């Protein structure tokens, strides 16, 4: 019995055919023997990959669909050949062992006394092996972009290497000791917002070019006894997988890779899900971190969710745009309502017909400014934490808190409060702790606006133009509310071709 480190698998190469003892005694003398069909049988007590994982359970994959390549100098038509691969298929079905029968058509026999080299080609496919005359061997792994991050899928990228001598006295191969070539990483990611109902994409990048990720291929060299000579860092520098969380709150992502010894860089872990949530990136320091062949390492990481940006305010509209079409950035809007709506300066009741018909009218806007309003920079404790997506794709957390109409004495849609503008109070953490912002107030982000001459977008995060439902005396102007850190006010003579924000009274 051969004892081999790192989950060694013991295999027996069995010869079938007529092997007369008289022939065998002459093998060492170079006598001719009968051509020997070769069958390589590899057995394992439990599973092909003897790895255990405290999070995902036992890793188990058998020999289905595998191929085995056996290399050795053999005799063909009486001549000793160079190192040549003999390809073997397998009839195995869901078992813990498999027989790999030679599938070639050429007659051959062993060259007694020569070493045999065997490679599992893996169901991932495409492994190219070569054996040099000095006894070293080289295995070239292909790019493996189809690793999908799941435990079971990693089995298709496992590969084994082994070697054995042919018994000189009999011409029969001895025991073949097989060694796993790859190791496995498991990232055990936890977040309260992970859900089995939503796919999570995990993107991995190494910061210093360390090639440990399975997005590329590589070559590893092994000594004649199967020990690695050079197999470090020959994979890729970035990779991603989209998978279903293991359970609510947990994502386990796996990948198979060459053994490696850590560098001074980091492994950067970034996540997002199909609801638009993103997560704060985490890093794993690679200094001192290593992965050996046949080893599984698990790394738990708590992931902090960053909610998806609220895009309610991302569109800007010309005043009362027909069919509610948003203004196109960098283009002068052509969809403003040009229908004649007659109104007097003292009549600010609802007159819009299309996009702005549900916006507060000019009277209502004056009442919002009759009480304290709070400007929030979006960076204080107790203030706004929602990121609002803007028309140019950027986000902001800055904006204005307005008191809800239900708490404003005298609030009316037919009578003005008499207040046309107000200096807002800049919100602080101390002020926020004394206000019931979530129940008594509502928040409007500083969503910017587009210029009526060019359509150019500006003032994101510092200013907001909010349309009213009220036209101003003619067909080219309309009433609006502006918000900024320095002032909140009712404007009347704004061109309808500005791109502003729609909103409703609360």
Give the pLDDT score at 406: 92
Q: Length of the chain in residues, anyone? A: 506
Give the pLDDT score at 27: 32
Assess whether pLDDT exceeds 60 at residue 73.
Answer: yes
Contacts of 285 (CB under 8 A, 6+ apart): 262, 266
Least confident stretch, 118-127, 191-200, 257-266: 118-127
Give the pLDDT score at 412: 92
Distance of CA 399 to the CA centre of its chain: 32
Contact criterion met (CB below 8 Å) for 390 and 428: no
Lookup: tokens for 195: 């859900």
Segments making up each domain of the chain, as ranges: 9-122+158-181, 184-217+229-306, 322-495
Question: Would you tell me which CATH number, out of the four given (3.30.300, 2.60.40, 1.25.40, 1.10.10), belongs to the domain 184-217+229-306?
Answer: 2.60.40
Give the pLDDT score at 204: 93
Cβ neighbourhood burial of 438 (10 Å; 0-12, 13-18, 19+): exposed
332 or 270, greater pLDDT: 270
User: What CA–CA distance (Å, rounded) separates 318 from 239?
Assistant: 44
Could you give the 3-state DSSP secondary structure of residue 411?
coil
Each residue's pLDDT tens digit, 205-237: 988 777 888 876 667 777 766 666 765 556 788
Least confident stretch, 16-20, 262-266, 286-290: 16-20
Which is nearest to 352 in space by CA: 337, 363, 364, 332? 337
Contact criterion met (CB below 8 Å) for 463 and 483: yes
User: What CA–CA distance (Å, rounded) separates 316 from 331?
Assistant: 12
pTM for the model stands at: 0.56
Distance of CA 505 to the CA centre of its chain: 41
Task: Among 239-248, 259-268, 331-340, 353-362, name the most confident range.
Answer: 239-248
């Amino acid at each position: 019995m051969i004892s081999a480190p790192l989950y060694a698998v013991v295999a027996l190469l069995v010869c079938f055919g007529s092997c007369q003892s008289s022939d065998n005694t002459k093998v060492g003398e170079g006598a001719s023997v009968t051509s020997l069909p070769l069958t390589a049988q590899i057995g394992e007590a439990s599973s092909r990959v003897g790895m255990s994982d405290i999070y995902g359970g036992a890793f188990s994959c058998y020999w289905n669909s595998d191929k085995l390549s056996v290399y050795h100098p053999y005799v063909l038509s009486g001549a000793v050949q160079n190192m040549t691969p003999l390809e073997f298929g397998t009839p195995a079905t869901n078992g813990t062992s498999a027989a790999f029968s030679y599938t070639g058509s050429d007659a051959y026999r062993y060259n007694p006394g020569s070493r045999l080299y065997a490679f599992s080609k893996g169901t991932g496919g495409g492994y190219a092996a070569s054996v040099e005359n000095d006894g070293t061997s080289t295995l070239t792994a292909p790019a493996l972009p189809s690793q999908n991050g799941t435990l079971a899928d990693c089995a298709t990228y496992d590969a084994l290497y082994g070697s054995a001598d042919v018994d000189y006295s009999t011409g029969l191969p001895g025991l073949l000791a097989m060694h796993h070539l790859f190791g496995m990483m498991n990232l055990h990611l936890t977040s309260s917002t992970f859900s089995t109902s939503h796919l999570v994409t995990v993107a991995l990048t190494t910061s210093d070019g360390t090639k440990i990720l399975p997005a590329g291929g590589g070559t590893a060299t092994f000594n004649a006894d199967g020990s690695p000579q050079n197999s470090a860092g020959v994979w890729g520098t970035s990779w991603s997988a989209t998978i279903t969380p293991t359970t609510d709150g947990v994502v386990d992502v796996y990948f198979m890779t060459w053994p490696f010894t850590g560098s001074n860089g980091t492994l950067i872990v970034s996540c997002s899900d199909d609801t638009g949530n993103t997560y704060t990136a985490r890093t794993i320091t690679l200094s001192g971190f290593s992965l050996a062949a046949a080893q599984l390492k698990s790394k738990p990481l708590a992931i902090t969710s960053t909610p998806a940006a609220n895009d309610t305010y991302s569109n800007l509209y010309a005043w009362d745009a027909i069919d509610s079409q948003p203004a196109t950035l960098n283009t002068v809007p052509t969809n403003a309502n040009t229908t004649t709506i007659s109104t007097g300066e003292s009549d600010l009741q609802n007159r819009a017909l299309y996009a702005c018909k549900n916006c507060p009218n000019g009277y209502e806007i004056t009442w919002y400014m009759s009480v304290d309003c709070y400007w929030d920079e979006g960076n204080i404790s107790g203030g706004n934490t929602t990121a609002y997506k803007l028309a140019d794709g950027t986000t902001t957390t800055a904006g204005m808190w307005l008191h809800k109409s239900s708490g404003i004495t005298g609030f009316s849609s037919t009578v003005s409060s008499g207040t046309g503008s107000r200096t807002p109070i800049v919100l602080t953490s101390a002020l926020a702790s004394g206000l019931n912002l979530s129940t008594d107030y509502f928040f409007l982000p500083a969503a910017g606006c587009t210029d009526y001459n060019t359509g150019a977008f500006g003032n994101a995060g510092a200013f907001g133009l909010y349309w009213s439902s009220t036209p101003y005396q003619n067909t080219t102007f309309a009433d609006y509310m502006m918000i900024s850190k320095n002032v909140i006010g009712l404007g009347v003579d704004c061109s309808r071709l500005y791109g502003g924000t729609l909103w409703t009274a609360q």
